[in-house]
Chains A and B, each alone.
Chain A
Amino acid sequence: MPKCRPLVTMWLLLSAAGLAMADGGPSSRDTAALDAGDRLYRQYCASCHGIEGEGQPNWERQNARGELPAPPHGPEGHTWKHSDAMLYRIVAEGWRDPWNRTERLTMPAFEDVLTPAEIRTVINHLKTLWTPEQRRHQASESEGSPYPADRRR
């Protein structure tokens, strides 16, 4: 089964990319950008959010330290409810849940690790995990809150 995983993953990504493009989502000129997004995701995000974006168990409830486990990025999660501006800010600056009783960030900051273009690329990768309806909702939310203007390139 492990041998099948790359093929399955590739199939899922290509299917998602096709859906995304058909739906007016991330109309990346080619799948290279999505591949780059997948690569960045696996390198920097998958250790917490899961290789397939499945999130951590019991992600909806605070653990004993008051921390929220990493949520899934697929349809069952809430990533799709956030605008491009907010997703960018959360990835770049991180975020700390106010009920967190530890000192560390709930979501680490990546602005010293990823370039603005890489942050945008990895967010576009997350969009391939959503349903067409969720992509439409998120696109609507982003109309008034796009990626930061000076960081769109």
Chain B
Amino acid sequence: MNKIVNRFWRALSLTGWVMASLGLAGVAGASEEASPSLHYAPMGERLLKVQANQLFESTDDGEAWTMIPLPEEVSAGRLAAVAATAEPALYIAGPSIGVQRSTDHGETWHALNDDLPDQDVIAFTIHRRQPDTLYAMIAGDGLYQSEDAGATWKKMDSGPAQPVRRLLHSDMEGSMQTGWLYAVSDDAVRLSMDCFCGWRPTGELDAGRVHDVAYDLDAPERVYVTTEQGLWRSDNGGQEWQRVNGDGPALVVLVPAPEGTLYGLDREGELMLSEDQGQTWTLPDA
């Protein structure tokens, strides 16, 4: 009975927020489809979800979501990415928003854009092992790196030729420096060592539009991509892909959590969970 009541309130709450934000999303997403985004924060084992240009947090595996206050700039922009560190610091990024940081759970936000050429940030991620190292992709310009939590930025690379929607840092072995960056474009996933010595496409993946990429936190060479044609897995960092399960849900977002857990969001923002490397998916509270 409790579950039913919880679900009712969760649905009511989310519907309210979505309805309230439709106007904002309409403005922000006028020129581009706003897709949801998800981040798993090990500190506090919480999930952060971007949906309809709002930011939500759940500490109970998606049972209930609470809204985190956002800065005014978000209303004129498109919230594209969220990330959190153990400090704890919360980062948001997106076009017309740039990169912003909060250390008081969203009560106040600080723009970190002084060194960036503009605020048209289309993708953002944090280094897996170095919480002060941030990466921001500026539309039509390139990839910027900060090693001091956003106080200063330096252009590192022009990035792949194709527009990038998602960035993900991995500590997979084999890099000349400290790790790798995966970049998701519509047509493919590419990766570069984080010394930026060139972007290479991952192995052949004829699966339509690519939505997102994730890797196993305990075995980073195990990489997943979700595409128009379902979920694919690689056991060697993306050199070769194999289809996981043709009957799984259509996910547009993938996020890894410890112990091989994968979270996913469908296009409507519904949270799904897999604990068997993407073979089967359930609602988290099922």
- Tell me whether A and B are bound partners: yes
Across the interface, do A90 and B200 meet the contact criterion of CB distance under 8 Å? Answer: no
User: In the complex, A82 Cα to B157 Cα: how many Å?
Assistant: 12
- List the A side residues contacting B198 at CB < 8 Å: 60, 68, 71, 78
CB of A81 closer than 8 Å to a CB of B: yes
- With contacts A78-B195, A81-B156 taken as known, whether A86 is within 8 angstroms of B176 at the C-beta atoms is yes
Across the interface, do A98 and B156 meet the contact criterion of CB distance under 8 Å? Answer: no
CB distance from A135 to the nearest CB of B (A): 15
> Quick one: closest B residue to A98, CB to CB?
B174
User: In the complex, A12 Cα to B199 Cα: how many Å?
Assistant: 30
B-side interface residues, number (CB < 8 Å): 15
Q: Which of A60, A61, A66, A86 contacts B177 (CB 8 A)?
A: A86
The B interface is mostly helix, strand or loop, or mixed, namely: loop
- With contacts A61-B200, A71-B198, A81-B196 taken as known, whether A98 is within 8 angstroms of B154 at the C-beta atoms is no
Q: Which of B156, B176, B199 has the most CB of A within 10 A?
A: B176
Q: Which of B157, B173, B197 contacts A71 (CB 8 A)?
A: B197
Across the interface, do B237 and A78 meet the contact criterion of CB distance under 8 Å? Answer: no
User: In the complex, A81 Cα to B156 Cα: how many Å?
Assistant: 8
- With contacts A81-B156, A137-B154 taken as known, whether A97 is within 8 angstroms of B174 at the C-beta atoms is yes
CB of B239 closer than 8 Å to a CB of A: yes
User: In the complex, A97 Cα to B239 Cα: how many Å?
Assistant: 12
CB of A95 closer than 8 Å to a CB of B: yes
User: In the complex, A152 Cα to B51 Cα: how many Å?
Assistant: 54
- List the B side residues contacting A71 at CB < 8 Å: 197-198
Interfacial residues, chain B to chain A (CB-CB below 8 A)? 154, 156-157, 173-174, 176-177, 195-200, 237, 239
